[in-house]
């Protein structure tokens, strides 16, 4: 980091800052200018909070050089991470589509979504058994029973499954059923959950918090990576803005930005990103055009009676048509679906 000193410090005061920097395990490189003096503090600064030096007498400001995250950064690993799961490779040329209902409602409902999404070319089945609902009076999900229905749908269709884990106490149970664990937007900064998921050897799709910056998003991924689990997929799912025409504002610029800053696969969720089924297809196509590795899309056999997120769920027929368009787009981009 660069430590900018206040003007007019005595040699003794400068010496004191230098010694402080050295006491933190960093080397100090003094550079005396006509107007200002700066000290280059060389070493891994990540373990220091910005305040450590900023509040020291004589210091005006501290400019970090290193990104606060490390393992997930492009600097740490130049090549894209490829995640192998359920016979699929995520993060390569192939565009992956994870599709299915918001919530698992019954064995029949999951199958009635799984069959057509598989036929249309989806590579994973999504469905929530543990649901993070804004209201405690809303449907909370079928829990373990729902996980069983997902497992049966995997059995009949061959589609690997992705499902959300809300609570570290459910982790063993959910991990036994899921091929990919989903950590939802509301839990992006549930550091206990991130740490526990980090200890497993199981792919995880981490969704961006609804008010999280890209840097905070990457720091949450770092929490998982630092525990040893490097099988992380990031998912942009829209952020809160002043706009009320859509449920969230799908931040598609985060896709190329994330791809620049880190080596992890990046997905887009146009369902939660817009909250409107009629905007899902265009934003799904836009997500892939922006460089996403895949999509997470809600599909329900009867959205009008869905127990959650009906208004943003595609009917199987609409999903099939979207997959056709995605196939054409993937081809034009030199990718495959
Ligand atoms: C979901 O995928 O159904 C979900 C709850 O998403 P998010 O965490 O992005 O709101
Ligand atoms: Mn949903």
Whether residue 49 is predicted with pLDDT greater than 90 in this model: the reply is: no
Q: What is the DSSP letter of 3?
A: E
Q: Work out which ligand 1 atom sits closest to the CA atom of 269.
A: 9
Query: What's the predicted TM-score (pTM) here?
Result: 0.94
Q: For residue range 249-266, what is the model confidence (pLDDT) as tens digits?
A: 999 999 999 999 999 999
pLDDT score, position 203: 98
Q: What is the pLDDT of residues 173-215, one digit of tens each?
A: 999 999 999 999 999 999 999 999 999 999 999 999 999 999 9
Task: Compute how many other C-beta atoms are within 10 angstroms of the C-beta atom of residue 71.
Answer: 17
Q: Is the CB of 272 under 6 A from ligand 1?
A: yes
Q: What is the pLDDT of residue 50?
A: 66
Q: Average of pLDDT values for 266-294? A: 98
The one-character DSSP state at 313 is P
- Residue whose Cα lies nearest atom 1 of ligand 1: it is 102
Q: Tell me the domains of the chain and their CATH numbers.
A: 2-63 (3.30.70.1140), 83-332 (3.20.20.70)
Q: Which residues, listed in sequence order, are joined to residue 97 by a DSSP beta bridge?
A: 295
Residue among 110, 128, 249 to mutate when testing ligand 1 (max atoms within 8 A of CB): 128
| Region of residue 87 (phi > 0: left; psi between -120 and 50: alpha; otherwise: beta) | left
Q: Which of 53-67, 138-152, 182-196 has the lowest mean pLDDT?
A: 53-67
From atom 9 of ligand 1, which residue's Cα is the shortest distance away? Answer: 185
- Residue 294: per-residue pLDDT: 98
Specify the residue with its C-alpha closest to ligand 1, atom 8: 184
With a CB cutoff of 8 Å and minimum separation 6, the contacts of 23 are none
Instruction: Give the CA distances from residue 222 to residues 185, 191, 193, 232, in Å, rounded to whole numbers and listed in that order.
Output: 16, 11, 13, 9
Is 298 in contact with 271 (CB distance < 8 Å)? yes
φ, ψ for residue 166, nearest 5 deg:
-100, -30
- pLDDT at site 279: 98
Residue 298 C-alpha to ligand 2 middle, in angstroms? 7
| pLDDT for the residue 47 | 79
CA of 23 to the centre of ligand 1 (A): 45
Q: Is the CB of 208 under 6 A from ligand 1?
A: no
- Residues 206 and 189: beta-carbon distance below 8 Å: no
pLDDT at 72: 98
Spatial separation of the C-alpha atoms in residues 62 and 106, rounded to whole Å: 56
- Report the separation in Å between the CA atom of 83 and the middle of ligand 2, taken as the mean of its atom positions: 24
Residue 227 has pLDDT above 90, yes or no: yes
What are the tens digits of pLDDT across the range 18-43? Answer: 999 999 999 999 999 988 999 999 98
Q: Whose CA is nearest to atom 4 of ligand 1?
A: 184
């Amino acid at each position: 980091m660069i430590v900018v000193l206040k003007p007019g410090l005595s040699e003794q005061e400068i010496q004191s800052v230098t010694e402080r920097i050295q006491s933190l395990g960093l080397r100090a490189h003094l550079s005396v200018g006509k107007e200002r003096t700066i000290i280059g503090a060389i070493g891994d600064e990540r373990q220091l909070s910005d305040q450590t030096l900023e509040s020291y007498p004589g210091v005006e400001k501290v400019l970090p050089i290193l990104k606060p995250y490390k393992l997930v950064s492009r600097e740490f690993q130049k090549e894209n991470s490829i995640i192998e799961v359920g016979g699929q490779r995520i993060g390569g040329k192939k565009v992956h589509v994870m599709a299915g209902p918001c919530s698992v409602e019954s064995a029949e409902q999951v199958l009635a979504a799984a069959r057509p999404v598989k036929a249309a070319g989806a590579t994973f089945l999504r469905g929530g058994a543990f649901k993070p609902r804004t209201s405690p009076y809303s449907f909370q999900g079928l829990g373990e029973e729902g996980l069983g229905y997902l497992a049966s749908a995997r059995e009949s269709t061959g589609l690997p499954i992705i499902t959300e884990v809300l609570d570290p106490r459910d982790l063993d149970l959910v991990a036994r059923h899921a091929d990919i664990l989903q950590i939802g937007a509301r839990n992006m900064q549930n550091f206990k959950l991130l740490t526990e998921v980090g200890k497993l050897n199981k792919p995880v799709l981490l969704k961006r918090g609804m008010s999280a910056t890209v840097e905070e998003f990457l720091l949450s991924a770092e929490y998982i990576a630092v525990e040893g689990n490097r099988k992380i997929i990031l998912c942009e799912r829209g952020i809160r803005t002043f706009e009320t025409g859509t449920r969230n504002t799908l931040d598609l610029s985060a896709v190329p930005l994330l791809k620049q800053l880190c080596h992890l696969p990046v997905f887009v969720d146009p369902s939660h990103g817009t909250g409107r089924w009629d905007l899902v297809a265009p934003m799904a196509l836009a997500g892939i055009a922006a460089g996403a590795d895949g999509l997470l899309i809600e599909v329900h056999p009867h959205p009008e009676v869905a127990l959650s997120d009906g208004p943003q769920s595609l009917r199987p027929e609409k999903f099939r048509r979207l997959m056709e368009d995605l196939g054409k787009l993937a081809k034009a981009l030199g990718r495959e679906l």
